[in-house]
Amino acid sequence: MALLEAAAATKRFGGLVAVNALDFSMDAGQIVSVIGPNGAGKTTFFNCIAGFYRIDEGTITFDGQPINGLPPDKIAHLGISRTYQNIRLFANMTTMENVLVGLHHHMHASWIAAVLRTPATVREERAADEEARRLLRFVGLRGKGDFQAGKLAYGDQRRLEVARALANKPRLLLLDEPTAGMNPAETADMTALIRRLRDDLGLSILLIEHEMRVVMGISERITVLDYGEKIAEGTPVEIRSNARVIEAYLGRGSAAEAAVERAAVEAAAAELDGNAAAAAAQSADLPPAQAGPGALPDVDADDADDADDADDADDADAADDTKTVA
């Protein structure tokens, strides 16, 4: 049975349909990627799964249980953890404390027990400490437990986000652009880490990613979104040759442009085929701002108190802007 399933899930912001009647399904133990141009609704979809947004129509089920409408903390309890596109650590807490917060709902000491420091509490704290240390080691942050999270190196912050998500003991891990802003070496490390999460810990992983080498390298299945709709689904090989995907990424431009772009796509595809070293310099990160033409309704990004929530909407705005300039 599918671990995570969305049926006709729809999320609207005012007039904008950020996620449109999305059918999605993934099995336990899979690594699945969601790709698409900026503003395609990927992060919105994540936010719907994690309970940040309530979908307007359709259902989302996790392990057979409907989760749409549940608050984020309940969804976390069911076993879904996530990371964020723009890193959202507890910047003023230490690395250890960040992970310990992740362990929060696996601990049970009440405030009275904490004040009295009952033997059970002490045991629990000690176990949590050990567990947090183990997780930090697992993601490669050994010995950095006392560092202030906000002062870690960028790549380490991404790792810490993963460790914190793991502390929640999830079955499904949602990773929102885990390699964004990383250099090739860090990207390779992160890719390896993601693979270990599945192979060693048996997690199912749903991934939003722009870095095509990562996507093509580790995903078993890929879902492509554009304007909130699923335009393609399949294995990396199928997706790479899918005409609609190429179109979504590169736009229905003039023939001349298309020719140039096709060359670019082929170069990217060649790179994906394994000679990564040769093409390392020209990253396959496709120009994301070139969303295709088409009427995009104005986005009402009124979710001002939550930058991340509004991210997708912002992206859509940006895409809109680029189009007008062109």
Partner 1 sequence: MTAISSTITRPLARRWRHVIAIGALGAAVALYLALVGIVPTFEARAMISSVLALGETFVLGTMMVIGYLAARYFDGQPAMSVLAGAIAGLMTGSALTLLMLIGPAIDLRSIFLNASDSLYGVLTLGRGLDFLWIPMVGGVVVGALGGGLRILPRPIQKSIAAGLLSLVALGLFSNLLRKPLLASPFASIGRLLFASEGLTLFGAAVTLSGALGAGIGGAIGARFGSRRWGMLTGVALGMIGSLVIGLLAADLAPSALARPEFAALGGVLGGVIGVGMGGLLGGAIARRVSSLRLDRQFDALPSPARSAIRATPLIPLLFLVLVLPFAFGQNFAQVIVLVAIYILMGLGLNITLGLAGLLDLGFVAFFAVGAYTVSLLTSTSPFGIADFSWWIAVPFAVGVAFMFGAFLGLPILGIRGDYLAIATLGFGEIIRILSVSDLLRPWLGGPQGITNVPKPFDVPPGDPLSGPSQIYYIALICAGVIAFIAFRLRDSRIGRAWVAIREDEDVAEALGINLIQTKLLAYALGAAFAGLGGAVFAALIGATFPTSINLLVSINVAALIIVGGMGSVPGVIVGAVVLIGLPELFREFQEYRYLFYGAALMVLMRFRPEGLLPSRSVQRELHVEENVEPAGAPVGSSVAQIEAEREGDVERDSPYSEPPAKETP
CA angle 104, 61, 74 (to 5 degrees): 20
Q: Do residues 164 and 196 make contact, with C-beta atoms less than 8 angstroms apart?
A: no
Up-side HSE of residue 302: CA atoms within 13 Å toward CB? 7
- The site map against partner 1 for 66-85 (x = CB under 8 A) is -----xxx-xxx---xx-x-
Interacting residue with partner 1 among 8, 120, 127, 192 (CB under 8 A) = 192
Nearest-Å Rg of the Cα atoms of the chain is: 20
Q: State yes or no: residue 198 binds partner 1 (CB under 8 A).
A: no
Taking the complex as a whole, the smallest distance from the CB of residue 82 to partner 1 amounts, in Å, to: 6
Closest CB to partner 1 among residues 203, 319: 203
* Residue 51 Cβ vs partner 1, minimum distance, rounded to whole Å: 7
Binding part of the chain for partner 1, among 144-152, 256-264, 287-295, 310-318 by CB under 8 A, reads: 144-152
Residues 117-136 that bind partner 1 (CB under 8 A): 117, 121, 124-125, 128, 133
Q: Which of 25, 28, 63, 144 touches partner 1 by CB under 8 A?
A: 144
Residue 63 within binding range of partner 1, rule CB under 8 A: no
* Candidates 89-97, 219-227, 278-286, 291-299; binding stretch for partner 1 (CB under 8 A): 89-97
235 binds partner 1 (CB under 8 A): no
Pick the binder of partner 1 from 4, 19, 60, 100 (CB under 8 A): 100
User: How far apart (Å, rounded) are the C-alpha atoms in residues 126 and 160?
Assistant: 20
| Residue count (the chain) | 326
Q: Is 130 exposed, middle or buried (0-12, 13-18, 19+ CB in 10 A)?
A: exposed
What's the Cα-to-Cα distance from 45 to each of 22, 123, 214, 228, 305, rounded to whole Å? 9, 39, 20, 9, 19
**With helix as H, strand as E and coil as C, how does 176-193 read?**
ECCCCCCCHHHHHHHHHH
Q: b or e along 140-173 (b: 16 or more beta carbons within 10 Å of the residue's beta carbon)?
A: bbeebbebebeebeebbbbbbbbbbbbbbbbbbb
**181 contacts partner 1 (rule: CB under 8 A):** no
Nearer to partner 1, 21 or 188 (CB): 188
Build a one-symbol-per-residue string for 253-292: x at contacts with partner 1 by CB under 8 A, - elsewhere.
----------------------------------------
Read off the tokens for 46.
């994540």
DSSP structure string for 282-308: S-----TT----SPPPPP----TT-HH
30 binds partner 1 (CB under 8 A): no
Sign of the Cα torsion 9, 11, 12, 18 reads negative
Residues near partner 1 (CB under 8 A) are: 50-52, 71-73, 75-77, 81-82, 84, 88, 90-94, 96-97, 100-102, 104-105, 107, 109-111, 114-117, 121, 124-125, 128, 133, 137, 140, 142-146, 148, 151, 164, 167-168, 188-189, 191-193, 196, 305-306, 308-309
